[in-house]
Amino acid sequence: MMKILVVEDNSLQAEDIVMQLEKLGHEPLPPVSTGAEAIAAVRKSKIDLVLMDIDLRGVINGIETTEIISKIKRTLPVIYLTILEEEAIFQSIQETPHLYFLPKPFNLSQLNKALKYVEAKLNDKAELETNLLEDSVFLKKNDLQYDRVEINDILWVEGGTNSITVVTKYNGKFVISGIFGPFTRKIKRPHIKRVHRSFLINLQHITAIKGNRLMIEDHGIPFSKTYVKNIKKLLQIITSSK
């Protein structure tokens, strides 16, 4: 059982989340509706987890509130809740400490899955999906197998809501659980570049650029101006990475 703070400015949604938490056997604290109230609650109460609505009305939104909370209690986990899908929002999410992203509306099963993931992390029982070496990484293939993959052989990486798909040149495709931002920092190399909120690409394997897509073999990977501001500069980076 976890003590959970719900930060949600829609009172009906907050009540519904509280009821779901109670059904799952957790102990929800009285919900709060603003970032300031959330910060005050974290300061004075023992809390195991925060469910944080991103689109909070008021002086500070959920992302800004999380940044402040992380300075007060560095290890306090946060699950983001939002219906928003703007690229700037996702980029901001990746830069803040959190463990999960739960899109609204969500059902009891989805909430339970997110909470179990956090509980595993808190109890230091989360299954190790990746293990990084100097020039390679072990990726989980199935319950009994981890494959060693050279980082240079990674073609691209796609981040999902709470999973990561790694496509490789020789070892096929891996789908592992985790958060995209921390994983991208793990395998950061000069030729491994974030080109979209959801995509990391190995520049050494690009064969063409078609419109707003970087081609690797027959697959087109989208890129956005948020990450690729100057296509000519990208071309220079691709050339120098060969």
CA distance 48 to 66: 14
Q: How far is CA 139 from CA 42, 132, 205, in A?
A: 36, 9, 20
The pTM score is: 0.54
Q: What stretches of the chain show up as alpha helix (H) in DSSP?
A: 11-23, 35-44, 62-72, 87-94, 108-122, 180-186, 231-241
| Amino acid identity, position 158 | E
Residue 85 CA, distance from chain mean position: 13
Task: For the chain, list the domains and their CATH numbers.
Answer: 3-122 (3.40.50.2300), 135-241 (2.40.50.1020)
| DSSP state letter for 58 | S
How many other CB atoms are found less than 10 A from the CB of residue 36? 15
Would you give per-residue pLDDT tens digits along the chain (242 residues)? 789 999 999 999 999 999 999 999 999 999 999 999 999 999 999 898 999 998 888 889 998 999 899 889 887 889 988 876 545 455 555 556 566 778 888 999 989 988 887 777 665 443 445 666 668 888 888 777 888 899 999 999 998 766 789 999 998 999 887 777 777 877 888 889 889 988 999 998 998 888 889 999 889 999 988 888 777 777 776 666 65
How many other CB atoms are found less than 10 A from the CB of residue 117? 18
